[in-house]
């Protein structure tokens, strides 16, 4: 029997209603620590909203979300020890990738410059590149988003379409990165992907959201 302390995420009877429309309906989900959990569903099914609620960016209308033992919105505003990509990574377009990450890292101030550079190198970006974000390709922005998500070495990653905009080589390298983070650092990963191959290769368990209703596949 799996104890509550072995869970990274516990979602109980979660419902989200916006302007009278039910976006998420009575969601129940638990994700074990050290597992990779996949969420699939068409656009507009509720995946991104679920990820936003887990991340503390949006609060549920009903129910509760617990991450590493903390109730989001009650014990803490945002989960501790997590990194995320939700929808399009948001950066300051006039600054370089490295400067963007340095600014973000200064919020918590728990990593040094070498760790920022290492995260960029891991995802295949040059930290010496002075080019502003506004001149980045979609794939480069996505790589930077992944670097931002992993740079502080979180124990939980919440990734909404992490392969978006990446070429074949980029997809393969990110898959290997996620596998190694999970295997070597016991990072729990919750990810959504339209690519069934990503889900099949990476995930220990898979759920589908359809019209706001979550079911296990």
Cβ atoms of 56 and 77 within 8 Å: the answer is yes
Q: CB within 8 A of 159, min separation 6: which ones? A: 84, 85, 146, 149, 178, 189, 190, 191, 192
Q: Is a pLDDT exceeding 80 seen at residue 177?
A: yes
Cβ atoms of 67 and 156 within 8 Å: the answer is yes
pLDDT at 48: 92
Query: In 10 A of CB 11, how many CB atoms?
Result: 22
Give CA–CA dist 51/48, Å, rounded.
5
Give CA–CA dist 141/64, Å, rounded.
32
The average confidence (pLDDT) of the chain is: 92
Give CA–CA dist 173/76, Å, rounded.
34
Beta bridge partners of 36: 189
Q: Where are the alpha helices (DSSP H) in 123-194?
A: 138-150, 168-185
Q: Read off the pTM.
A: 0.91
Q: Is a pLDDT exceeding 90 seen at residue 62?
A: yes
Reported confidence tier of residue 195, pLDDT bands at 50, 70, 90: confident
pLDDT at 86: 87
Give CA–CA dist 164/194, Å, rounded.
9
Reported confidence tier of residue 155, pLDDT bands at 50, 70, 90: very high
Q: Is a pLDDT exceeding 60 seen at residue 97?
A: yes
Q: CB within 8 A of 118, min separation 6: which ones? A: 151
Cβ atoms of 11 and 25 within 8 Å: the answer is no
Closest CA to 119 of 148, 86, 96: 148
Q: Is a pLDDT exceeding 90 seen at residue 5?
A: no
pLDDT at 1: 43
pLDDT at 3: 55
Q: Is a pLDDT exceeding 70 seen at residue 132?
A: yes
Q: Is a pLDDT exceeding 90 seen at residue 89?
A: no
Q: Is a pLDDT exceeding 70 seen at residue 123?
A: yes
């Amino acid at each position: 029997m799996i104890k509550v302390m072995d869970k990274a995420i516990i979602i109980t009877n979660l419902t989200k209603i916006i302007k009278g429309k039910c976006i998420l309906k009575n969601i129940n989900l638990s994700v074990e620590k050290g597992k990779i959990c996949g969420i699939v569903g068409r656009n507009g099914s509720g995946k991104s909203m679920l990820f936003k609620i887990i991340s503390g960016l949006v609060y549920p209308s009903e129910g509760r979300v617990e991450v590493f033992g903390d109730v989001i919105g009650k014990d803490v505003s945002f989960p501790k020890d997590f990194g995320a990509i939700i929808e399009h990574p948001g950066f300051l377009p006039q600054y370089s990738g490295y400067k963007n990450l340095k600014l973000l890292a200064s919020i918590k101030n728990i990593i040094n410059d070498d760790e920022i550079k290492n995260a960029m190198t891991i995802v295949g970006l040059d930290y010496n590149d002075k080019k502003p974000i506004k001149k980045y390709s979609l794939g480069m922005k996505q790589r930077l988003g992944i670097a931002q998500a992993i740079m502080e070495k979180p124990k939980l990653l919440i990734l909404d379409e992490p392969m978006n905009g990446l070429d074949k080589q980029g997809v393969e390298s990110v898959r290997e990165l996620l596998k190694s983070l999970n295997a070597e650092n016991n990072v729990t990963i919750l990810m959504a992907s339209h690519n069934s191959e990503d889900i099949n290769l990476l995930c220990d368990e898979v759920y589908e959201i359809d019209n706001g209703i979550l079911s296990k596949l």
